[in-house]
């Protein structure tokens, strides 16, 4: 069974789109885990604070507890040991937020949040079984065709053409991870990412107010591409590793076409780390969610379908 790992940092509960995608994954039989960090000093999210019910079957993890537990791992081949530098920086950032809060200036708050989110993505992708995705990503009708590939490859994808510092076709860090049971691919990714990250540990710790997340995207892209035969870019290749075929097309925002096992509820050119491009509107997101409900859920029933419908009703637009 595929595990979907989401990252959620902040005080508020999940919004309507986030809930819609969580329930979409549950509807198609996936496990969902959410790795959280609450801004409030000493506080931790649980299912209720995220707007979920206990019977939703979603695992909620607190990143403070995760990092503390991971620090006790001594096996040098364990990705949790390999990612010690990443953990050190994340711990310092989380502790800084708890002691001093986020910077009051909007641009600095944004940089701080994106720094934490992007580094947390790679840390969880390297150390936990499953596929880390942005909350704007849900399953496509082709998900089942990729399930075996998820167990054999490290997964990522290319989104748009605005990847900073990467070669053509380099993947974004909106998607990171593998269902490879032995963990050796995660270990290799952890080694590759950590080697790039290691020299900047002190700089990252003191540069919390600066825009660092572009570097993490680049580190991810380069590490992914160095995995070579163990990597699969699921928007460029089918589950067999061959170049993408139209049979894996996915309906997305405003008649855009995605490809592969995932659907992204955002325009391909609407990227947070870049200016320009046409921005996605709430009405476009809601229209795409309605398409999913109307055309892709006929073979499903049960409480998650009803929860998806309620989440759709709560979407703006």
Domains of the chain in sequence order: 3-314 (3.90.550)
Say whether pLDDT at 144 is over 70: yes
For 192-232, the DSSP string reads HHHHHHGGGHHHHHHTTTS--HHHHHHHHHHHHHHTGGGEE
Tokens for 271?
A: 């990227």
Average pLDDT of 186-213? 95
Phi, psi of 13 (to 5 degrees): -80, 170
What is the distance between the alpha carbons of residues 163 and 120, in angstroms, rounded to a whole number?
19
* Angle subtended at Cα 136 by Cα 130 and Cα 137, rounded to the nearest 5 degrees: 45
Residue 47 token pair: 């299912």
Q: Which helix (H) or strand (E) holds 138?
A: strand 137-139
Query: Quick one: 257 exposed, middle or buried, by C-beta within 10 A (0-12, 13-18, 19+)?
Result: exposed
pLDDT band at 45 (very low <50, low <70, confident <90, very high): very high
- Give pLDDT tens digits for 243-275: 999 999 999 998 899 999 999 999 987 766 555
Residue 164: what pLDDT?
46
* Cα of 287 vs its chain's centroid, Å: 23
């Amino acid at each position: 069974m595929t595990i979907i790992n989401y990252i959620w940092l902040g005080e508020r509960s999940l919004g309507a789109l986030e809930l819609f995608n969580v329930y979409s994954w549950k509807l198609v039989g996936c496990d969902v885990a959410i790795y959280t960090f609450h801004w409030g000093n000493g506080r931790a999210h649980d299912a209720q604070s995220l707007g979920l019910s206990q019977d939703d079957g979603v695992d909620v993890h607190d990143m403070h507890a995760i990092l503390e537990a991971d620090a006790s791992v001594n096996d040098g081949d364990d990705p949790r040991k390999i990612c010690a530098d990443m953990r050190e920086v994340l711990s310092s950032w989380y502790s800084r937020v708890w002691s001093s809060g986020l910077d009051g200036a909007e641009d600095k708050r944004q940089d701080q949040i994106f720094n934490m989110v992007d580094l947390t993505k790679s840390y969880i992708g390297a150390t936990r079984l499953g596929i880390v995705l942005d909350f704007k990503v849900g399953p496509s009708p082709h998900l089942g065709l990729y399930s075996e590939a998820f167990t054999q490859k490290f997964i990522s994808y290319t989104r748009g053409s605005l990847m900073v510092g990467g070669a053509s076709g380099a993947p974004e860090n909106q998607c990171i991870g593998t269902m490879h049971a032995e963990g050796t691919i995660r270990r290799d990714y952890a080694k590759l990412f950590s080697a790039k990250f290691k020299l900047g540990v002190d700089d990252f710790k003191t540069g919390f107010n600066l825009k660092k997340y572009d570097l993490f995207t680049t580190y991810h892209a380069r590490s992914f591409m160095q995995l070579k035969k163990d990597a699969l870019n699921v928007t460029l290749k089918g589950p067999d590793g061959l170049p993408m075929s139209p049979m894996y097309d996915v309906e997305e925002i405003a008649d855009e076409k995605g490809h592969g096992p995932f659907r992204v509820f955002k325009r391909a050119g609407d990227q947070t780390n870049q200016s320009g491009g046409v921005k996605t509107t709430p009405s476009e997101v809601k229209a795409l969610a309605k398409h999913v409900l109307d055309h892709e859920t006929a073979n499903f029933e049960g409480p998650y379908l009803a929860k998806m419908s309620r989440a759709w009703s709560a979407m703006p637009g």
